[in-house]
Amino acid sequence: MPKPDLDPLLASAAGRFGTPAYVYVTDAIDTRLADLRATLGQWFALSYAMKCNPNPALLSWLEPRVDLIDVSSGGEFALACAAGWAPDRASFTGPAKRDAEVQATIAAGLGELVLESLREAQAANRIAAALGRVQPVLIRLAPDRVPKGFGDHMAGRPSPFGIDIEDAPEILPQILALPHLRVIGLHIYSGTQCLKPAAIAENWRIFLQIFRDTCAAQGLTPQKLVFGSGLGIPYHPGDTPLSLPDIAADIGPDLSAFRSEPRFAQTKLVLELGRFLVGEAGYFVTRVISTKASRGSRLAICDGGMNAHLAASGNFGMVLRRNYVMHKVGGGIGEEKVDLSGPLCTSIDKIGGGVLLPPLAEGDLIALHTSGAYGPTASPLHFISHPTPREILAEGGQLRDVTRIAPALPTPG
């Protein structure tokens, strides 16, 4: 549940800027960063995977606080640079990079191109040669297994991401031989949204062994090795938040032993993470437009639904739909079960089913927690042309409208 002083902030954001709205609380991100550095900072630098939330104001706020940034398109690279990130602090991942994107990012001074295939490496080599450059690259590897406990697997089965580890002995020498690419390290991101410390530690041990074996086989002394974090956040009632100290206690000795090996003594280890950094700092605030009874159920119809928050509707990679943690802003007396839907003309536009909340009335505000990642840009904002959500940055209690995508209709000033 929210801190006692959060509801006035959320109500103020809704009153000043309209709903639906995302509110990003930077104090919560600062706390998360401090926890990460206190527990894992002795081993890792931090990289922000901006795909989870590319709001330009948030990117600018993060720039002095996070070491590196990962982009997954030429558009994201341009957004990051416009927000103040130096090009050489960026890595560029993604399984279908277009030649024009590769050309533009290399020409701009991209830090590392993350290679996902031999074809991509050959194309990058040709482009770098035409530019008269030697481009630093990381090779993304796909392990042959991912431990149980991860919400999404990007390895261990057929996948567009990276080079399968069993194919690496044949492919990597060909990449290493390309004259306009300089292989400075390796990258693995094999699973996401894990809430089990033991599974995360096991996954990183898989990474460590792959890094050891691959570097030894290819005679590579890496400057950088990227660990896809996989750190999850508690979206649903009953989810147990991750314990960073438990992760550090489990994997710390392995990381220290790895860093003591001569080949890796000067290697920068990078922890790439997105939702774990910003997800729990965001709240989605939607207003009840009307309520009704229907065949024994109570319904509340809200001004923001699947169009503004696809993930909360259960239609963004969720196999079985589960409610997000949510609350009625301002609270109330008693509880009743209510189904929450959005404004769209489709039966799948639901943001809550059988949720226990104080009785709702027209005009009430509902806040969905853990909404700081995969929000507006991961949602079908233009379906049925409802107003797009506002984005509000809350810095030390001060609210600022940082909406990236202009609303379709006027909202309160």
Domains detected in the chain:
86-273 (3.20.20.10), 280-401 (2.40.37.10)
Averaged confidence pLDDT in the chain: 93
- Is residue 372 within 8 Å of residue 282, measured between CB atoms? yes
What confidence category does residue 161 fall into, taking pLDDT thresholds of 50, 70 and 90? confident
Q: Which residues, 6 or more positions from 329, have their beta carbon under 8 angstroms from its beta carbon?
A: 7, 10, 11, 14, 285, 364, 365, 366, 367
Nearest to 363 by CA among 339, 410, 330, 388: 330
222 pLDDT more than 70: yes
1-51 pLDDT per residue, tens: 444 479 999 999 999 999 999 999 999 999 999 999 999 999 999 999 999
Q: Which residues, 6 or more positions from 395, have their beta carbon under 8 angstroms from its beta carbon?
A: 26, 27, 61
Whole-model pTM: value is 0.94
Nearest to 165 by CA among 212, 130, 100, 202: 212
Helix H or strand E encompassing 251: helix 244-260
Token pair 């509110």 is found at 23
What confidence category does residue 57 fall into, taking pLDDT thresholds of 50, 70 and 90? very high
d(CA 195, CA 184): 31
53 pLDDT more than 60: yes
What is the radius of gyration, based on Cα positions, of the chain?
A: 23
Catalytic residue IDs: 345
Helix H or strand E encompassing 37: helix 26-40
For residue 251, what are its two tokens?
Answer: 């994997």
Q: At 364, phi and psi to the nearest 5?
A: -65, 155
Q: At 69, phi and psi to the nearest 5?
A: -135, 145
357 pLDDT more than 50: yes
d(CA 121, CA 123): 5
132 pLDDT more than 70: yes
